[in-house]
Amino acid sequence: MNINKHNWLLPRRTFLKGLGASVALPWLEVMSANAKSISTAGSMAESEIPRRSMFTYWGLGAEPSGFTPTTTGKNYTLTSTLAPLAPFKDNCTLMTGLTAFTGGHGSCCCLLTGVNTVGNAKTLTSVDQQLAAHHGSVTRFPSLVLGTVRETGFGGPFPMTLSWSKNHTPITPENRPEVLFEKLFGNEDNKTLIAVKQAMSQRGSLLDSIKQQAGALQKQVGTADRARLDQYFTSIRDLEERIKIEGEWIDRPKPKVPRPDFGQGSPRDRIASDGKGYSEYTRLMFDIIALAFQTDSTRVVSHIPRTEGDEAKCYKYLTNSAWDLHTITHNAQEDEKLAMWRKLDSLYLSEWAYFLGKLKDVKEGAGTLLDNTIAAWATTNGGPNAHDSKHLPLILCGGSALGIKHQGHLAKQDMPIANVWQTVTTKIGMPLPDNFQGGLSKGVVAELM
């Protein structure tokens, strides 16, 4: 940039400082390389578009008929289940008939990795973490890993995370919206920053010491113990990389945004037995994710809004359901259970539609936050009467400014979900890694390109 000629241009990350706080500005036209003067609007240049991606997993799947319109193409007719997507019909592509590596309980671990399962002990890197590595330290947080429980589930029968690091370790999700908000936007005074720097320095020195001791120990143990120590090393490397990125951002102020009303106590604890707190909790998480994207605090998110435990308890205060969702999914094709399943699917989709609305309401460049974000609703539980790995729906939303050409409803019989992720990574601009999705991907979804 020629400072003398364009001294009115503002950097993308501009903060107003005063009274001990820093306020991040939203994207402004005067920040664009296309701006000709202060008073002449500049559209967002292609190189300036934050190329974002979000992956969500919805446990226990969806009732197939409600998620399978009878027509295809851009002018397909929404089913009653899909009605919440009506305002975003042109911003979404519903794909049906997809397949995953495995289905059933605990299959979330293969959604973003392609082949990781509890049974086959695969530990490939998940696509969200591959995208995070592609973006590098361009944002304060390379990725956010979120869910409704703060545990990976590994070591047990039911995994609870979508994300695997490049060092083959599962990443623990954050499930507390109030903690996530503080992490993203909490203020830190000079005294706090000094303490944080000292703690980071101490952690780095401690890790060096641990590595030396563990390396010496590794020479003295048997094969099985060496394997355990190797896993320990990879966890240390993951932590080191996170510390390095934290260090690069430690002196840069965090964005200042309005604090949501979290109410009394932890929002996660207010998910009541009849589900009244679920919508409030889920929308708080979506609000903060939208803020994280808007402030360019991250460009990659994985999130499990619903595990296979059905946090909403069938929205019983609205539906008076006589069954839990798992019982409904094993329905023996009973009409009453199928009708309840479709009703519940529509209620859950209303939460997703809320998130899409948050993104669509934020103007960014010539389009919206939704146009600059590829967001996926996905599951690995399909089939009419269980949790099959086939007959899977997937809703790909947004991303029109990144080149996604939405097609309405695409029937893609037996197409691997991995093809969708290859489409996403291509539009983000990430080179395809070796052994991507364990070799399951057969190419991009051509209609979306």
- The tens digit of pLDDT for each residue in 133-164 reads 999 989 999 999 999 999 988 777 788 999 99
- The encoded tokens of residue 177 equal 């919206």
Provide the pLDDT for residue 95: 98
Provide the pLDDT for residue 260: 84
For residue range 23-32, list pLDDT tens digits in order.
455 566 667 7
Tokens 């973006």 — which residue?
135
Task: State the Cα–Cα distance between residues 52 and 402, nearest whole angstrom.
Answer: 9
Which sign does the torsion angle of CA 146, 151, 155, 159 carry? negative
Would you say residue 449 has pLDDT above 90?
Answer: yes
Provide the pLDDT for residue 217: 63
| Cβ contact 304:108 at 8 Å | yes
Provide the pLDDT for residue 265: 81
- Phi, psi for 283 (deg, rounded to 5): -70, -30
Would you say residue 334 has pLDDT above 50?
Answer: yes
Provide the pLDDT for residue 214: 62
For residue range 162-193, list pLDDT tens digits in order.
999 988 889 999 999 999 998 888 765 555 55
**According to the 3-state scheme, what is the secondary structure of the chain?**
CCCCCCCCCCCCCCEEEECCEEEECCCCHHHCCCCCECCECCCCCHHHCCCEEEEEEECCCCCCCCCCCCCCECCCCCCCCCHHHHHHHHHEEEEEEEECCCCCCCHHHHCCCCCCCCCCCCCCCCHHHHHHHHHCCCCCCCCEEECCCCCCCECECCCCCCCECCCCCECCCECCHHHHHHHHHCCCCHHHHHHHHHHHHHHHHHHHHHHHHHHHHHCCCCHHHHHHHHHHHHHHHHHHHHHHHHHHHCCCCCCCCCCCCCCCCCHHHHCCCCCHHHHHHHHHHHHHHHHHHHCCCCCEEEEEEECCCCCCHHHHHHHCCCCCHHHHHCCCCCHHHHHHHHHHHHHHHHHHHHHHHHHHCCEECCEECCCCEEEEEECCCECCCCCECCCEEEEEEECHHHCCCCCEEEECCCCEHHHHHHHHHHHHCCCCCCCHHHHCCCCCCHHHC
Would you say residue 1 has pLDDT above 50?
Answer: no
pLDDT > 70 in the chain, percent? 77
Would you say residue 127 has pLDDT above 50?
Answer: yes
Fold of 51-178+260-448: Alkaline Phosphatase, subunit A (3.40.720)
For residue range 392-421, list pLDDT tens digits in order.
999 999 999 999 999 999 999 999 999 999
Mean pLDDT of the chain: 84
Alpha-carbon torsion angle 94, 310, 143, 18, nearest 10: 110
Provide the pLDDT for residue 4: 37
Tokens 């798992």 — which residue?
326
Provide the pLDDT for residue 19: 38
For residue range 250-302, list pLDDT tens digits in order.
667 778 788 888 888 888 888 888 888 999 999 999 999 999 998 899 999 99
pTM for the predicted model, two decimal places: 0.84
pLDDT > 90 in the chain, percent? 57
- More confident of the two residues 169 and 227: 169
Would you say residue 213 has pLDDT above 90?
Answer: no
Distances 152 to 108, 143, 148, 166, 172 between C-alpha atoms, Å:
11, 16, 11, 16, 5
Task: State the Cα–Cα distance between residues 445 and 427, nearest whole angstrom.
Answer: 11
Task: State the Cα–Cα distance between residues 272 and 332, nearest whole angstrom.
Answer: 29
Provide the pLDDT for residue 192: 54
Mean pLDDT, residues 296-311 taken together: 93
- More confident of the two residues 45 and 178: 178
Kindly indicate the confidence band of residue 63, based on its pLDDT and cuts at 50, 70 and 90. Answer: very high
Kindly indicate the confidence band of residue 34, based on its pLDDT and cuts at 50, 70 and 90. Answer: confident
Provide the pLDDT for residue 169: 87
